[in-house]
């Protein structure tokens, strides 16, 4: 049986278009039949997608998930805990209506923490599983255009994390490692890292949930990349383990919290999510703003210095190669059309006819996911080597953010396609030959 909230959320998904355009909000009616807009808490956006999944957004599988206030509170909070001999047969585990977390200590001992309904919070769950408790289904993200991308072995947990938002204070959105399964249980096996401080038991998931709060305001472009931390099942914050799934937990970081702030990154080991608060999004461009900025560049009628044809920056992704498609020389930033001048057949590199610099050339395309922008302005820069255009502050911000890569490393990536950045800076200033008449 579906409850009212589930029916409404399914209805909402079915109404949402799949081309990445703005989602229409389904207004709810109050007792008098007046429609009131839904309260938006924020958005979770997967790094590496430019507005929608390549195969189209469908249901709970999409490039971003909007968190709206639920009609009825769906949060849970810790209540009592006790030790049992066999968790599989204990009442709390067998009761599919009872949220509980089972921490296995040994073959015949486990601590069960029961969770009770919390009328003050709403819960949202993220993971690879398509089971109904997962609100946002997230798959491993591969760099590049992803047309033929196939992930052989996923490292994302089926029930990766949960976010609890305070219904009265939506700026208090807290993240916790692990999510409840269809039986409303979380099992931490014998091998999982766990510990007991005073009375409360806590633990880490296999690959962990890492978070990075930017230092400073995400909007405005003056924030710096903060330190990556690990978040526990109970919501405490720790320094990173020696390696991603090491047995030993990191040091507790008491002066940092699991409260998401605008621009916080969440790494699920295989996909990285950006949290944008509703408040922060008000200072970000809309899709319409971005389209207008493209129109303004196109209105300057940028010209190819070789073919002398007018170049047109496409307003949509995946439109295919067009005759007016602009290309950028990654070593100098000159924007030109398609031509064969200066081509080195053996390396594929080209000599720029404007400045004679030799280097790679790529298609120029607009970064269309508004959530990744740190300010509103003309997209006069592009990421190197993928050619995604954005504002100067946006490319400079992302070029300085370390994203976990594999199980041990970090790298800066283009947020629109997840391609690791190249060159000294990771971006290039675009030089158009425009406004000639």
Q: Given the rule CB under 5 A, which residues bind Zn ion?
A: 329, 332, 334, 352, 354-355, 357, 383, 386, 388, 414, 416-417
Cβ closest to Zn ion, residue 176 vs residue 416: 416
Pick from 190, 153, 165, 159: which is nearest to 177 by CA?
Answer: 159
Cβ closest to Zn ion, residue 160 vs residue 414: 414
- The tokens for 325 are 């498609």
Cβ closest to Zn ion, residue 291 vs residue 422: 422
Smallest gap from residue 422 Cβ to Zn ion (A): 11
Smallest gap from residue 68 Cβ to Zn ion (A): 29
Cβ closest to Zn ion, residue 250 vs residue 426: 426
Collect all residues with Cβ–Cβ distance below 8 Å to 409 and sequence separation of at least 6. none
Smallest gap from residue 155 Cβ to Zn ion (A): 22
Cβ closest to Zn ion, residue 163 vs residue 401: 401
Pick from 336, 320, 317, 319: which is nearest to 328 by CA?
Answer: 336
Smallest gap from residue 353 Cβ to Zn ion (A): 8
Cβ closest to Zn ion, residue 240 vs residue 413: 413
CA dihedral 335, 337, 340, 342 (to 10 degrees): -20
Q: Write out the H or E segment, with its range, that includes residue 396.
A: helix 392-399
DSSP per-residue letters across 271-286: -EEEEEEHHHHTTSPP
Q: What are phi and psi of 362, to 5 degrees?
A: -135, 160
Calpha distance 176→192 (Å, rounded): 16
Cβ closest to Zn ion, residue 163 vs residue 273: 273
Exposure b/e, 80-96, CB count within 10 A at least 16 = b: ebeebeebeebebbeee
Helices then strands, each counted (H, E), the chain: 5, 30
Smallest gap from residue 336 Cβ to Zn ion (A): 8
Smallest gap from residue 419 Cβ to Zn ion (A): 5
The strand pair at 388-390 and 121-127 is best described as unpaired
Smallest gap from residue 341 Cβ to Zn ion (A): 12
Pick from 313, 424, 428: which is nearest to 367 by CA?
Answer: 313
């Amino acid at each position: 049986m579906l409850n009212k909230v589930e029916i409404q959320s399914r209805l909402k998904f079915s109404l949402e278009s799949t081309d990445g355009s703005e989602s229409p909000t389904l207004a709810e009616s109050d007792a008098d039949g007046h429609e009131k807009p839904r309260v938006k808490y924020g958005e979770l956006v997967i790094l590496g997608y430019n507005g929608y999944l390549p195969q189209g957004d469908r249901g709970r599988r999409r490039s971003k998930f909007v968190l709206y206030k639920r009609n009825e509170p769906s949060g849970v909070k810790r209540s009592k805990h006790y030790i049992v001999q066999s968790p599989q047969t204990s009442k709390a585990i067998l009761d599919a209506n009872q949220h509980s977390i089972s921490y296995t200590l040994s073959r015949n001992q486990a601590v069960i923490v029961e969770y009770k309904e919390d009328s003050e919070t709403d819960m949202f769950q993220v993971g690879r599983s398509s089971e109904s408790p997962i609100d946002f289904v997230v798959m491993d993200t591969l760099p590049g255009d992803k047309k033929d991308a196939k992930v052989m072995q996923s490292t994302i947990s089926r029930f990766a994390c949960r976010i609890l938002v305070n219904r009265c204070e939506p700026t208090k959105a807290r993240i916790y490692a692990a999510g409840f399964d269809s039986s409303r249980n979380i099992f931490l096996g014998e091998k999982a890292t766990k510990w007991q401080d005073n009375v409360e038991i806590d633990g880490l998931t296999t690959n962990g949930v890492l978070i990075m709060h930017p230092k400073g305001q995400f909007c405005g472009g003056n924030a710096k990349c903060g330190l990556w931390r690990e978040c526990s099942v109970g919501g405490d914050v720790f320094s990173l383990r020696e390696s991603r799934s090491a047995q030993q937990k990191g040091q507790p970081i008491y002066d940092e919290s699991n409260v998401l702030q605008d621009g916080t990154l969440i790494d699920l080991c295989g996909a990285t999510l950006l949290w944008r608060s509703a408040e922060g999004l008000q200072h970000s461009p809309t899709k319409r703003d971005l389209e207008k900025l493209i129109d303004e560049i196109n209105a300057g009628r940028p010209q190819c210095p070789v073919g002398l044809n007018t170049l047109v920056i496409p307003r949509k992704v995946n439109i295919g190669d067009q005759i007016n498609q602009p290309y950028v020389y990654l070593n100098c930033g000159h924007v030109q059309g398609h031509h064969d001048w200066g081509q080195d057949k053996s390396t594929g590199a080209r000599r720029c006819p404007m400045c004679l610099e030799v280097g790679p050339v790529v298609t120029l395309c607009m970064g269309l996911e508004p959530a990744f922008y740190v300010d509103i302005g003309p997209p006069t820069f592009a990421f190197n080597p993928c050619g995604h255009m954005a504002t100067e502050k946006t490319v400079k911000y992302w070029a300085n953010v370390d994203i976990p890569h594999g199980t041990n490393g970090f790298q800066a990536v283009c947020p629109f396609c997840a391609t690791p950045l190249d060159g000294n800076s990771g971006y290039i200033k675009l030089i158009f030959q425009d406004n000639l008449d």
